A and B are shown apart, each in its own frame.
Chain A
Amino acid sequence: MTVRFTPKTVYVTYIAAAPERVWQALTTPELTQKYFWDRAIELEPKAGGAFALRLPDGRVNVQGAVVDYDPPRKLSVTWGVRWPEEFSKLPECLVTYDIARAGKPVRLTMTESHSWDVPEAILSGGRIGWPAVLSGLKSLLETGKPLAIEMDPPREMIEAIKNLK
C-alpha cells in the first residue's frame, strides 16, 4: 500500500550561502546539534537508508527512512517521533528540504506533509518549531553563531496527542 502525504506546513527562508553549505548544515550531526536543540542527525546517504535525530544522552528523538537523497538539492525523510514517548502515537509524517538558487541567495523550503486528517493542534508543534530551527540554521551559516531559542511543544499539541486513540 502506498501512503499518500499532503503538505500541511511550509516554511521558506533565504540564506546567503552556497547550496552545498546548506546541504552540509542539514546533514552533518555536529552542525544539526548547533541549531536543532542538540539533536544529531544520523543519515544513510541513499534512498531507503535509515534516518534519525539523536539526543545527547543517546535517546532517539525522531526515526525514519530516507525517501529522496539528491545532494545538494533535495532531502526527504519519513519522520516518526519516538521521544517524548507519548508522541510516538503520531503517524509518521514526511519532511522535505528543497534547496534552490534564487539569484545570489539560496532558497530553502521545508515542507511537512501528513498522511492523515491531522488536527491543527498537532500541526502547531511544527508551525512553531520550524521557524526557530531554520532561523538558527540561517544564523549559523551567515554568522557562525546559532541562536539559543528555548521552546517546549505547545500545550494544545500535547493535549491533542493525549486524546489520540
Chain B
Amino acid sequence: MSKPVFVYVTYIASTPEKVFKALTDSDATAKFWFGNAVTSDWKVGSQVTFHREGKLIVSGKVLEHDAPRRLSYTFQSHHEPHNGTEKPSRVVMDLEQQRDQVKLTVTHDDFAPDSKVFVSISNGWPLVLSSLKSYLEANRVLYAPWYEERAKREAEKAAS
C-alpha cells in the first residue's frame, strides 16, 4: 500500500507576503486557526509550537523557511486523542502568485504506519485553510465545530 499523502489547494485573493505572514504570525494564526497560536523564530532547525488556551497542540521543527514562497515544518500532534504518541509527520506549504490571487498548496505526508493523525488532519486542513481564506479576503474567520462541540459538552458536564 502506498503511503498516505494529504494535498489541499486553495486560491486566495491576497499577496504571497500576506498569506505567508498569516501562516507564521502568532496573532494571525490565533485568529483564523481557532485559537491555535504559532510560535517560532522560523530558523531552520528551530522549534515550532501551536498553543491553544495555554495547552500544547502541535510541536515540530522548521525544515524550510523561504518567505514568501515555501514553508515547511515537522508536525507532531499533542491534541487528544493523539497526545504526542505518534512520530512527527511533515507539512509543506507552497505559495504561488497567480494574477490577483495566491495559489496555496498544503502537502502533509511522512506519517507513521496506520497513522491516526492522518485521519484528523484530513478533516482539519480544509477547515483551517477555508478559515485562512475568509480571514484574508473578508476579515472574518470560521469556527471549528469540534472545539465548539467539546466546549458545549464540558459546559453541560460542569452544569450537571
Residues on A lying within 8 angstroms of B by beta carbon are 12-16, 102-105, 128, 131-132, 135-136, 138-139, 142-143, 145, 147-150
Contact between chains at B101 and A147 (CB < 8 Å): yes
Chain A residues near B13: list those with CB within 8 A: 139, 143, 145, 147
Q: How far is the CB of A102 from chain B (nearest CB, A)?
A: 5
The B interface, classified by DSSP as helix, strand, loop or mixed, is: mixed
Query: Which of B57-65, B86-94, B109-117, B124-132 is near enough to bind chain A?
Result: B124-132
B142 CB–A CB distance under 8 Å: yes
Contact between chains at B137 and A143 (CB < 8 Å): yes
20 residue pairs from A and B, CB less than 8 Å apart: A12-B126, A14-B130, A16-B140, A16-B142, A103-B148, A103-B149, A104-B142, A104-B143, A128-B9, A131-B11, A135-B133, A136-B11, A139-B133, A139-B137, A142-B134, A142-B140, A147-B101, A148-B101, A149-B11, A150-B99
Chain B residues near A148: list those with CB within 8 A: 99-101
Which A residue's beta carbon lies closest to that of B133? A138
Question: For this complex, into which size category does the number of interface residues on chain B fall?
Answer: 20 to 34
B145 CB–A CB distance under 8 Å: yes
B98 CB–A CB distance under 8 Å: yes
Q: How far is the CB of B155 from chain A (nearest CB, A)?
A: 15
Q: How far is the CB of A19 from chain B (nearest CB, A)?
A: 15
Q: CB < 8 Å: which of A15, A102, A131, A136 contacts B9?
A: A131
* Interchain CA distance A150-B101 in the complex, whole Å: 11
B10 CB–A CB distance under 8 Å: yes
Known: A102-B145, A131-B11. A142 touches B100 (CB 8 A): no
B56 CB–A CB distance under 8 Å: no
* Interchain CA distance A146-B47 in the complex, whole Å: 38
B159 CB–A CB distance under 8 Å: no
B19 CB–A CB distance under 8 Å: no
* Interchain CA distance A139-B137 in the complex, whole Å: 7
Q: How far is the CB of A157 from chain B (nearest CB, A)?
A: 16
* Closest 3 A/B residue pairs (Cβ): A103-B145, A14-B130, A135-B11
User: B52-91 interface mask toward A, CB cutoff 8 Å, 1 = contact, 0 = none?
Assistant: 0000000000000000000000000000000000000000
Contact between chains at B143 and A105 (CB < 8 Å): yes
Known: A103-B144, A105-B142, A150-B98. A16 touches B10 (CB 8 A): no
Which A residue's beta carbon lies closest to that of B138? A142
List CB contacts (< 8 Å) of B1-46 with chain A: 8-13
